[in-house]
Structure 1
Amino acid sequence: MDNYTATQLLQSLQVGHEGIRYLENCIQSGELNTSDLAILNDLSDLLSVVESSTATVATPNRVKEINANIMFYINELKENAIRGNVELFLYDFRFHFSSLYRILEFEVAYIVENLVTKQDYPRFYPELGVVDHNDISTKGVNSLCKVSVVLLSYNNLSYTRDCVESILMNTDNVDYELILVNNGSTDGTKEYFDSIPGAKVIHLKYNIHLVKGFNMGLMAAEGKYSAAVCNDFIFTPNWLKNLMICIESDNQIGFVSPGATSISNLQQISIPFISKEDFQKRAKEYNVSDPSKWEERVVLLPNVLCCPTALLSRIGYYDTRFFRGEFLDDDISFRIRRAGYKLIYCGDTVTHHYGSLTTVTDHQTNSLEEGRETFIEKYGLDAWMDARMSSTYLDIETGLLSNVNSILGIDVKCGATLLQIKNRIWSLHGKKPKLSVCTTERRYDVDVSSIAEQVFPLNSLNQLPEIPQKNIDLVYIEKPLDCYSDSLETIFSSLANTMAANGKLVFTVNNTISIETLYAMLNSSNSIHNRKIYIRDMVCAQARTYGFELFSIVNYTPQRNPESEQMVENIAQFLGDGKENEVNYLKSLLKSTYEIYQMSYTGNNLYES
């Protein structure tokens, strides 16, 4: 496809959009004539052109499936017009046909994005421009209800039934509408959805998969907030009420989600139970709104994607480029946070998750790596390496987290772990320290700016800014100290001039014989060749010279894949010559990725004295 064809496609889709708006205006004014329906024939021709133009592009897309659904509903609209079935015509036009056409627009816009000037087509590229928070708030004022609960299902009827029943049973204390999206199921889901009184049901003739399926439901939402859920969850007493308490506690909150019995990203809440009834009873006892359990996050997994409906509309819903849905959660988190909103994990609310039924067919492919690469291409960041929190924060001694009103994070990537340290202080002591960030890598500026009050560029550790001096209660350096070119003397001297009396310092040093280091050496990594070698006594002696006293040192051992674990075992057995004590010692060294140093600042600078 060339630039001319791409431009023609977007312009044609825009003409089609204007035709749909014309029909919509005719419907609203009650002046729709049979002759006006000729526009549907023109749209059918347009779909044919779009499909043929995109048939050979390398970009993964679902234009064919989307078009098949649109054609189905064009025929339904014609049939209903002939039969005079006005109510069904209006329903299909609004909640099926118009939404499907919008989804097609997003799909084509993604396919041609590198061939057009996006600024010329702002409607197709909602990421352009600044999100107006006042506009988002205003649009939510006259909503039909408080929340639109959007459930997407593709087969697995027994799980879907459990999910729907749990929503109906546990959501009576919130004004909500239930939107059920049947994503081309063939197992009786259609009939079941049609049997739910009062539900807004959307039926897709053909499966358009997770991303587009969810967007169909979200586009139909008429609540102030939307809460999108998968059919592999069971919901619990007060689940939605608790989410509403959180999201309405601060107009800067744009995305909240509860915990679940099976989930990653430290959003798991373990509650033992022996039956669904027992789980509901235990969940009712647990689900008591408690702000001390709310955690601000850099990335939030959408057990429930609960956001202002107008905000989702403004940013373009889920991004269609995430073909199979993997890393969709990271992307929606980034877009909402970069739009100036906070993401809050509601640890005071638990749901039950069976596990990935909605995306099970995609998981049989290489979907994780595919989604990861898509995220990297879009942001220039690796969601796993740059935006996930490390359990380092769990190893910080509780004593170091008292009386902390300000934190300086240095080279904290997107800030996920730094933010979790702040969350931990909030949970322990009921205060939210102010965050400042210094970074030597400018690609993180946008993201750390979304969570910190101040962000300073940094060339080296000997140039820490005045923020102001002697006002930092805790310094957290995420990048291992041995990766900096600065000397230990320079580093500790600069830190001493920044920290408040009785301040705390947390930093890491790489273990030079960890399995990760060995892998990097085999790959001739520059990061290994440029790294310094520090031993504990040397680090502690230099720190003491500048007024820092050691609090503790913790070895950090992450979870590894089975291949790495086996490599650790093999190397330890070989070097330890099979001797149990030596083998165990070597295994502990190989498994420890780095050491976490935790120090307190006494202010007694021996070097100056």
Structure 2
Amino acid sequence: MSGLTSIIIPTFNGLHLLRTCVEHIRAYTDTPYEIIVVDNGSRDGTGEYCVREGLLLVSLPENAGFPVACNHGLRLASGDQLLLLNNDVFVSPRWLTLLQEALNSRKEIGIVGPVTNYASGIQQVKVGYADRAGYILEAERWNASNPGLWLEVNRIVGLCYLFKRTVMDRVGLLDEMFSPGHYEDDDYCYRARLAGFKLVVAGNVLVHHEGSASFRTRFPGGFQELIERNRRRFVEKWNVDPLQFIEERGDAS
């Protein structure tokens, strides 16, 4: 029995994405879950939509950024597993059951992520679909139990980030120094590994990612600047360059 999974979705003026994200969760999840939407001060009817749909809602007065929003959701979450999900990620058949299978396969595995059409590092895979219907057809074939496709890694991208509550109990919340976002997921992976947890990419789970939609809307000119600033903050904190994790295979420690 895997227990309850708390799915935490931060969002900012992304109702068109959030609606599709929630529809996919409801259509393709066959294990117990709750959805917690953390609204970062949207002005597009997100709050009203969440109330209407019966979703748990944390409504922040202004955009406090991704790590802050995630932490609000994590504090409210009641699940044995915690899942941070970007509002522009659309899940597919059996996604959560298969991620849980990888997560619970060994006690020391702490964080698991899927593969996707759009991500940095080894989680990005080549896909053949051109539209949402094609994606679901491809994922139907892709998403099957296959431990041979699990890969131990040093880093998992935070777009769809499943971890055990014991990880949060030991490691804590996301570091809000990285607000509005980028590298808070690398930082969390690093802290989890220091605490003795293993990280696994489940190559047998495919999700669709639209790709940094909120950030590009909010920081159209300074997107790259923001990434570089937070990379420097990571280096200052740990005296390690997180870019090395992107290409690494396996656990180098």
- TM-score bin (small chain): over 0.9
Deviant stretches of 4+, over 4 Å: none
Aligned to 1:306: 162
1:387 & 1:274 partners in 2: Cα distance?
30
Give, in angstroms, the shift of residue 448 of structure 1: 4.0
SS in 2 for 1:206: coil
Aligned to 2:13: 155
Give, in angstroms, the shift of residue 170 of structure 1: 0.7
Equivalent pair of 2:18/2:87 in contact (CA under 8 Å): yes
Q: Does 1:370 align with 2:206?
A: no
Unaligned stretches of 5+ residues in structure 2: none
Give, in angstroms, the shift of residue 344 of structure 1: 0.1
2:13 & 2:130 partners in 1: Cα distance?
26
SS in 2 for 1:358: helix
Unaligned stretches of 5+ residues in structure 1: 1-140, 390-415, 420-446, 450-609
Q: Deviations over 1:194-244 (max 9, x none)?
A: 1113x2121112221111011111111101000110111111001101000
Q: 1:371 to 1:293 in 2, by over 3 A?
A: same
Aligned to 2:124: 268
Look up the equivalent residue of 2:235 and give its one-letter code.
Answer: I
SS in 1 for 2:177: coil
2:95 & 2:166 partners in 1: Cα distance?
22
Higher relative contact order (CA 8 A, sep 6+): 2
Q: Deviations over 1:379-402 (max 9, x none)?
A: 111111x3332xxxxxxxxxxxxx
Equivalent pair of 2:68/2:179 in contact (CA under 8 Å): no
Pairing partner for 2:240 from 363, 381, 387: 381
1:226 & 1:268 partners in 2: Cα distance?
22
Q: Does 1:328 align with 2:187?
A: no
**Mean CA deviation greater in 220-229 or 314-323:** 314-323
Give, in angstroms, the shift of residue 269 of structure 1: 2.4
Look up the equivalent residue of 1:184 and give its one-letter code.
Answer: G
Pairing partner for 2:95 from 239, 258, 271: 239
Q: 1:330 to 1:265 in 2, by over 3 A?
A: same
State TM-score, norm by structure 2: 0.93
2:184 & 2:134 partners in 1: Cα distance?
33
Aligned to 1:185: 42
1:287 & 1:215 partners in 2: Cα distance?
30
Equivalent pair of 2:170/2:195 in contact (CA under 8 Å): no
Give, in angstroms, the shift of residue 363 of structure 1: 6.0
Give, in angstroms, the shift of residue 274 of structure 1: 3.4
1:186 & 1:313 partners in 2: Cα distance?
34
Equivalent pair of 2:6/2:78 in contact (CA under 8 Å): yes
Bigger proportion of residues as helix? 1
Equivalent pair of 1:259/1:345 in contact (CA under 8 Å): yes
Give, in angstroms, the shift of residue 308 of structure 1: 1.1
SS in 2 for 1:321: helix
1:274 & 1:332 partners in 2: Cα distance?
33
2:195 & 2:252 partners in 1: Cα distance?
13
1:244 & 1:175 partners in 2: Cα distance?
11
Equivalent pair of 1:254/1:342 in contact (CA under 8 Å): yes
Aligned to 1:164: 22
Equivalent pair of 2:89/2:208 in contact (CA under 8 Å): yes
State TM-score, norm by structure 1: 0.40
- Equivalenced residue count is 250
Equivalent pair of 1:221/1:309 in contact (CA under 8 Å): no
Q: 1:167 to 1:213 in 2, by over 3 A?
A: same
Bigger proportion of residues as strand? 2
SS in 2 for 1:256: strand
Equivalent pair of 1:146/1:225 in contact (CA under 8 Å): yes
Q: Deviations over 1:438-479 (max 9, x none)?
A: xxxxxxxxx843xxxxxxxxxxxxxxxxxxxxxxxxxxxxxx
Give, in angstroms, the shift of residue 342 of structure 1: 0.4
1:336 & 1:288 partners in 2: Cα distance?
27
Of all paired residues, the percent bearing the same amino acid is 30
Look up the equivalent residue of 2:231 and give its one-letter code.
Answer: R
Equivalent pair of 2:11/2:18 in contact (CA under 8 Å): yes
Equivalent pair of 1:163/1:235 in contact (CA under 8 Å): yes
Q: 1:383 to 1:336 in 2, by over 3 A?
A: same
2:173 & 2:227 partners in 1: Cα distance?
21
Equivalent pair of 1:219/1:313 in contact (CA under 8 Å): no
